[in-house]
Amino acid sequence: MIVLGSVVLSLTYINLLILFLLGPYDVSNKYYPILVAFRYIGRNQFFENLEALLLAMWVIGNFVKIGTMYYSSVLAIAQFAKLSEYRIITLPVGLLILILSVWDIPGGIQLGYQLRVVAPFEVYSTYFLLPLLLLIIWMLKPKPKKV
């Protein structure tokens, strides 16, 4: 809960900072307004061009996120299929992820449409409804009796 609260607070702080710095019209016209906001950061011509640091943090964060999701999906599939070892399905799941990542969004126009129209429903269902459904199923499942 502490990590979740700190993430929510930091994202709220960053979004408000960008909104107050750029204004509502500039924020809505940019794909990555945080990059524009980072260009304003400077101190005595010593700390300049911090966009590279932001992009490095973004790449590392995405690597950790994708690695965690990949591991958890392989582990979940192995547990669902009642496999004794999860490592045997690591390569097929990785190839499936690779194929689906190339096939999913073919270009920039489709990406814009995906972000505007599809992503709100996809994020809502994936990050809220699906975990809530799994929690309800877990709560309704009969508990094993302790011996």
Q: Residue 34 in contact with residue 14, Cβ under 8 Å?
A: yes
pLDDT of residue 19: 85
Q: Residue 54 in contact with residue 35, Cβ under 8 Å?
A: yes
Is the predicted pLDDT of residue 47 greater than 70, yes or no?
no
Is the predicted pLDDT of residue 23 greater than 70, yes or no?
yes
pTM (predicted TM-score): 0.60
pLDDT of residue 136: 92
For residue 42, what is the DSSP state?
A: -
Q: Residue 88 in contact with residue 100, Cβ under 8 Å?
A: no
Structure-derived torsion over alpha carbons of residues 4, 59, 41, 24, reported in degrees to the nearest 10: -60
pLDDT of residue 91: 95
Q: Give mean pLDDT, residues 22-37.
A: 76
